[in-house]
């Protein structure tokens, strides 16, 4: 286990945003990290007709929701993936009228012969369905679902609303064909990946052509979102049902790599913080950080008050592999309560229970342990191309609190855990001096002088970046005499 780990930080973060002054570590959302595949989950879908039918119900409910938003909001709103509310369920719809509408939609769309045939086929075959295959099915199902929604909306609609519906109809192609589903049963598992990659590509191309021919670029993006983007974005949003949102703070073992300084050191102008790591249980290492530990309320006070305290955060060492670990969607839906999961995903209208719930219902504690083990195994995986980073990361997540507020993701570390600062080759002199002043004051405040400065430099002898200690810059207690 390493004794020290390093964290690259831009000067504006340390100085202008006061990260050094406040001793904070920022936990970033996966979408903001450098790797475009950060947070990627290699999900597959395999289950009986009960869970498949519930997936198609969830899709229809989400599609009806975004369509309603578009019809009501018009050009005043701009639909995005966050509007696909995969946590919606029939039971939590706001009005009985809304429930009756959705119930009728379920009855009409899911009883249509092509849809019913697809659901039964997927449930009986037990095929492992991957993203491209699922997206291909949903792109075809999408047309049937949206046609039914438009038919409902046209009844009693105002002239303005009918015009919007007609524009959507013009861009909507014909319905599903039975012979497609006959072909599904003849495709082997080994052939499925390539067949549906091609199929999904053709669907995307045809959809792009329809949109190009029917939706001018000058118009708002909502129709394009509903007609073209929705099936793919829906699958991405399904990931939210598996694991709670997580955020990461990234560290590395070795900083003698010019590419690292180029990528994360702002072209060698930034600096690198050197942290002492603490031992934890089961041979882990980590840092003690101040974070939200709970919520409380008092009589007469509005809302909940955040409680803070120190918690040990273990480092997850990144595994560099050629593939991501596989995740069984229907058996990994953990971001719902057991009650909601059982009713919304694991049972049908007649009360039959899906076999996918067996492990959870047999031993909830064991299922929950395996669930969190798999969660922490899925995060620290990157493709081999990133192996030069030697990365470790701290993970912040919570099933109780919303961590979208940036302030809740700025966690304070103990100054004694900061062992040094490494200046980049091009770190400006003025910035070095500002950093040194802050450190000098903090050493005095914390009575902690075990701190070192370093300088990164190119070595002509080795052809690498070397880190040289600046031994003359020693900090010591003030002279009391």
Residue 418 binned pLDDT confidence (cut-offs 50, 70, 90): very high
Residue-averaged pLDDT of the chain: 84
Q: How far does CA 64 lie from the centroid of its chain?
A: 24
Q: What's the 3-state SS for 359-428?
A: HHHHCHHHHHHHHHHHHHHHCCEEEHHHHHHCEEEEEEECCCCCCCCHHHHEEEECHHHEEEEEECCCCC
Look-up: residue for tokens 């490494």?
Answer: 422
pLDDT tens per residue across span 265-288:
888 999 999 999 998 877 789 999
Q: How far does CA 389 lie from the centroid of its chain?
A: 22
The pTM score is: 0.81
pLDDT tens per residue across span 5-19:
999 999 999 999 999
Asked if 271 and 14 count as a contact pair (C-beta separation under 8 A), the reply is: yes
Measuring CA to CA, which residue among 466, 442, 438, 441 is closest to residue 454? 466
pLDDT more than 90, % of the chain: 46
What pLDDT was estimated at residue 187? 53
Measuring CA to CA, which residue among 325, 284, 292 is closest to residue 309? 292
Whether residue 193 has pLDDT greater than 70: no
Residue 175 binned pLDDT confidence (cut-offs 50, 70, 90): very low
Q: What is the mean pLDDT of residues 90-97?
A: 91
pLDDT tens per residue across span 74-83:
778 889 999 9
Whether residue 163 has pLDDT greater than 60: no
What pLDDT was estimated at residue 477? 83
Burial 18-51 (b: 16+ CB within 10 A, else e): ebbeebbbbbbbeeebeeeebbebebbbbbbbbb
Asked if 141 and 121 count as a contact pair (C-beta separation under 8 A), the reply is: no
Task: Give the phi and the psi of residue 26 in degrees, each rounded to 5.
Answer: -90, 130
Measuring CA to CA, which residue among 292, 203, 255, 258 is closest to residue 392? 255
Look-up: residue for tokens 């899906």?
Answer: 354
What pLDDT was estimated at residue 161? 56
Whether residue 164 has pLDDT greater than 70: no
Q: What is the mean pLDDT of residues 298-312?
A: 76
Q: What is the mean pLDDT of residues 101-112?
A: 90
What pLDDT was estimated at residue 259? 85
The DSSP bridge partners found for residue 305 are: 296
Q: What is the mean pLDDT of residues 351-356?
A: 94
Q: How far apart are CA 256 and CA 248, in angstroms?
A: 23
pLDDT tens per residue across span 451-469:
999 999 988 888 888 999 9
Q: What is the mean pLDDT of residues 378-399?
A: 88
Instruction: At 28, list the tokens.
Output: 């970033």
Q: What is the mean pLDDT of residues 388-417?
A: 90
In a 10 Å sphere around its CB, with 0-12 CB exposed, 13-18 middle and 19+ buried, how is residue 230 labelled? buried
Give, in order, the Cα–Cα distances in Å from 426 to each of 44, 275, 423. Answer: 47, 22, 8
What pLDDT was estimated at residue 180? 47
Q: How far does CA 313 lie from the centroid of its chain?
A: 20
What pLDDT was estimated at residue 177? 46
Whether residue 188 has pLDDT greater than 70: no
Q: How far apart are CA 191 and CA 195, in angstroms?
A: 6
User: Of 60-69, 106-115, 202-211, 396-405, which has the strongest mean pLDDT?
Assistant: 60-69
Look at 99 and 292; give whichever has higher pLDDT: 99
| Least confident among 248-252, 266-270, 432-436, 460-464 | 460-464
What pLDDT was estimated at residue 201? 60
Q: What is the mean pLDDT of residues 327-342?
A: 92
What pLDDT was estimated at residue 344? 94
């Amino acid at each position: 286990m390493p004794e020290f780990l390093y964290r690259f930080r831009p000067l504006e973060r340390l100085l202008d945003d006061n990260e050094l002054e406040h001793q904070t570590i920022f936990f970033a959302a996966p979408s903001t990290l450098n790797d475009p595949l950060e947070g990627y989950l290699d999900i597959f879908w395999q289950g009986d007709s009960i869970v498949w039918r519930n997936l198609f119900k969830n899709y229809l409910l989400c599609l009806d929701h975004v369509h309603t938003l578009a019809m009501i909001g018009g050009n005043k709103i701009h639909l995005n993936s966050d509007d696909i509310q995969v946590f919606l369920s029939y039971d939590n719809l706001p009005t009985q009228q809304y429930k009756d509408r959705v119930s009728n939609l379920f009855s009409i769309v899911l009883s249509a012969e092509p849809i019913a045939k697809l659901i039964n086929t997927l449930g009986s075959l037990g095929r492992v369905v991957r993203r491209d295959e699922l997206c291909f099915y949903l792109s075809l199902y999408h047309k049937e679902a949206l046609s039914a929604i438009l038919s409902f909306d046209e009844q009693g609609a105002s002239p303005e609303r009918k015009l919007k519906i007609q524009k959507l109809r013009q861009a909507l192609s014909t319905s599903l064909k039975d012979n497609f589903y006959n072909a599904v049963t003849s495709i082997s598992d080994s052939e499925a990946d390539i067949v549906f990659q091609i199929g999904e590509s053709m669907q995307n191309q045809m959809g792009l052509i329809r949109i190009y021919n029917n939706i001018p670029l000058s118009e708002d993006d909502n129709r394009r979102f509903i007609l073209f983007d929705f099936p793919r974005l829906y699958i991405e949003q399904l990931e939210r049902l598996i694991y709670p949102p997580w955020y990461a703070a990234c560290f590395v073992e070795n900083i003698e790599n010019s590419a690292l300084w180029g990528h994360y050191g702002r072209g060698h102008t930034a600096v690198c913080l050197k942290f002492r790591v603490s031992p934890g249980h089961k041979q882990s290492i980590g840092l003690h950080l101040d974070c939200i530990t709970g919520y409380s309320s008092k009589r007469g006070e509005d809302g909940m008050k955040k409680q803070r305290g120190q918690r040990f955060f273990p480092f997850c060492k990144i595994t560099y592999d050629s593939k991501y670990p596989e995740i069984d969607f229907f058996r990994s839906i953990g971001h719902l309560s057991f009650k909601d999961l059982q009713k919304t995903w694991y049972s049908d209208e007649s009360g039959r229970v899906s076999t996918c719930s067996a492990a959870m219902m047999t031993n909830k504690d064991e299922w929950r342990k395996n669930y969190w083990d798999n969660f922490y195994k899925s995060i620290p995986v990157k493709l081999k191309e990133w192996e030069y980073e030697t990365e470790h990361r701290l993970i912040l997540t919570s099933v109780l609190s919303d961590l979208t507020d940036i302030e809740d993701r700025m966690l304070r570390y103990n100054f004694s855990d900061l062992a040094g600062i490494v200046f980049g080759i091009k770190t400006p002199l003025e910035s070095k001096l500002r950093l040194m002043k802050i450190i000098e004051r903090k050493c005095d405040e914390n009575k902690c002088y075990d701190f070192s400065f370093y300088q990164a430099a190119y070595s002509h002898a080795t052809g690498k970046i070397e880190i040289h200690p600046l031994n003359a810059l020693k900090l010591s207690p003030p002279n009391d005499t």
